[in-house]
Structure 1
């Protein structure tokens, strides 16, 4: 089909609405999922958190395997059928959780969601289809802003509905997702012309094959690795944010929901407005640098919080961290052809899936070790910099286990610092000087 300006506009609007609705559904879960886990298992925080990690691991493993396949299918058959199929899978997932009589049902639901959860990667492929290189970062930022709007509403809705029962928010998320499917059936256009589609190949449409195929394009594998580290750090939010704040600060699901809503407001300001000013002025490289540095600061503050206001004070830095996603995605997207955008997003999704396998185990494990309520009476909660010193002394065998409910955030801060260091190593002067990434730099070397 011939792509028109009207088609591009409609596709972008639908994608933004879709991301917003899906993030509402995702955000609804965060304040209440820990309570549902405890309801189904009868466990306390320090033990129930393991199920949170393993549920995320189940989702991530199947996403890791299936995302490149879905990306390859979208390059072969177009974006529209893949997007609609994924939206339907998400709706089914939420209803399955809402009806779960035992914990095993939650695992089946997350597995199903991992297989069909290609919404965000397909949304990014849509944006790459309809955006010129100089506007991709801004439009990727709009996706982040739409996610922020949904994430503003989702946790607040989840926290409020959670007061009426742990199942109610999941029914709400399922209904919202079904509405999105119906909306897509009516209004979603196709943006990948048949002449630009490539044959599906299982040799390329798998995690290893995607990375090997994209490895010929200069810098892509290095930047995907940076995103992998950052995504690993980011798993601290869905796996342990609620547990950590409830344990360390005595928060309720409502407190958690409102704090995440405040973060979403700050994120909307950055990704919906400031990013369109910042990136044209300083370029993709420096936007990514500022985003990663801000992540280090935000995680450190949250991990050291001994009062609720510290969490809110970290919000602006957490919002600025949203700069690195659009910047890195555009740096990679500008390097591949139109027929490879789905493959690229599939590879990125596979890296994020791998991070969702590694991150939850690390985050829940460190919380179980350092945030155990059973030993709270014998240990004082430590704030920055005593918490860093305590962790260091414990690792050297010089003291007993310190009580640090925010320890997962300190781990996330360390990972973000590692990502920033790696980013500096895998980029060159040309990246630092350019406002936008050079296009289609296909070379034999894997890293710049």
Structure 2
């Protein structure tokens, strides 16, 4: 139900003085940066070929680069959602009806596992070699993957396709880093809200289109997803520039070691930053809580309210749209007025109240306020992303977004198993326990929230904390 950029979510916000923010850039593409702005060797990067256009004046201004990255994320989400309605029927066509649920769960877990492993690597590679080349490779891989799945004659190739999809789908971490590169501190919460809304609306539209296409031909959604991925790639190739950002010195930008690309490497390095560690734990709790409705909404709606699949689908679509509207239009306004930390706190409180409303709701009338509260909780995610970005130096934005996407994927692996077991254990007595547990996940984060409300612990000493990952001993 949440977007990790989700990105990201890991859709994927708070000012912190750990690094100087990316300032406004010119409104039109300019020649390569002057000597001394980038270190020796930076001329080999994509930056010198196509510098990023600047954000438009004003904290909320749109610009070409931002529009293109939002379109890229939306099209990617539509491509993911397109195949969801037909995946069970496709598995059935391979003759695995007796173990349909097992294979569906395995394919879902495989996708999340590959994102967990690969998102930090893509983020770190984008820090080294640029956002644009990594994003282009990922989008090209997505197009090939969907074509493979459309033509796969064997179940083993379908598994291979989902593994490749997990790798290429980790591009959300690069998109999140791109937003940080072209935004200053006052813009990030608002723009991460737009990013989450773009992904969420894509996930709402994708299954609808996929269901309609799947009624014509079972593999048509895969071909449509391949076409969208190709369009995505073409947009990025033709018009998406490489953003200007601080570069590591040339000797440190050599080919990264396998150890640096491991998911735990960036997590360990970034977790050492005292102002960032509480946000990482809070993000993990937020993503885990988001797995409750994502896993059990259909079962909960059927068991408690007698909903049929149409009612479940309509309720999910309504939630997704309202959630995206909150992210797109409320996050920036609330953050501008109250600050990102209070915006994050408000999102957490709204989420908790929404889950408790789900636990005790006995009719659609009493469920509706819970839907609004849980959707309103969507303002917390973009605020947290912006806070995390501002507490990380500019040379490690890709690594940060990779870690966040990896944590979201880890939650997607653990959450369905954990909450499914809790629901089964409590269903014989009361089916609301799983929502109470989801709300209670935020309790261990109360000390972190209190610390965040007090502000960064040592903003003036940020440069000492902001040493590039590449400079770590043994890196």
TM-score tier, shorter chain, comes to 0.7 to 0.9
Change (3 A) 1:117 1:15: same
What does residue 340 of structure 1 align with? 396
How far off its partner does 1:134 sit?
1.6
Q: 1:343 & 1:321 partners in 2: Cα distance?
A: 26
Aligned ranges for residues 75-94 of structure 1 at < 5 Å? Answer: 75-94=127-146
How far off its partner does 1:414 sit?
1.8
After superposing the two structures, state which structure 1 stretch, 105-114 or 308-317, moved more: 308-317
Contact 1:156 1:258 in 2 (8 A): no
Aligned ranges for residues 169-318 of structure 1 at < 5 Å? Answer: 169-193=221-245, 195=247, 199=253, 200-236=256-292, 239-242=295-298, 245=301, 254-302=310-358, 314-318=370-374
Corresponding position: 1:150 with 2:202: yes
Listed one character per residue, the Cα deviations across residues 103-143 of structure 1 (whole Å, up to 9, x for unaligned) are 44442222112222222111110010011112111111110
Aligned ranges for residues 121-132 of structure 1 at < 5 Å? Answer: 121-132=173-184
Contact 1:54 1:361 in 2 (8 A): no
Listed one character per residue, the Cα deviations across residues 203-255 of structure 1 (whole Å, up to 9, x for unaligned) are 43322211221133223222212212222232345555456556766656554
How far off its partner does 1:438 sit?
5.2
What does residue 12 of structure 1 align with? 66
Contact 2:348 2:380 in 1 (8 A): yes
What does residue 415 of structure 1 align with? 438
What does residue 410 of structure 2 align with? 354
Contact 1:196 1:338 in 2 (8 A): no
Corresponding position: 1:53 with 2:105: yes
Change (3 A) 1:251 1:428: closer
Q: 2:129 & 2:122 partners in 1: Cα distance?
A: 10
C-alpha root-mean-square deviation of aligned residues, in Å? 3.3
Change (3 A) 1:402 1:234: same
Change (3 A) 1:166 1:417: farther
Change (3 A) 1:285 1:7: closer
After superposing the two structures, state which structure 1 stretch, 244-253 or 212-221, moved more: 244-253
How far off its partner does 1:270 sit?
0.8
Q: How many residues align?
A: 406
Contact 1:218 1:441 in 2 (8 A): no
Q: 2:242 & 2:82 partners in 1: Cα distance?
A: 30
After superposing the two structures, state which structure 1 stretch, 109-118 or 78-87, moved more: 109-118
Q: 1:330 & 1:90 partners in 2: Cα distance?
A: 27
Change (3 A) 1:28 1:302: farther
TM-score (norm 2): 0.74
Provide structure 2 residue ranges, at least 5 long, that are not aligned to the other structure: 1-31, 34-50, 57-62, 466-475
**Structure with the higher fraction of residues in helix conformation:** 1
Contact 2:276 2:388 in 1 (8 A): yes
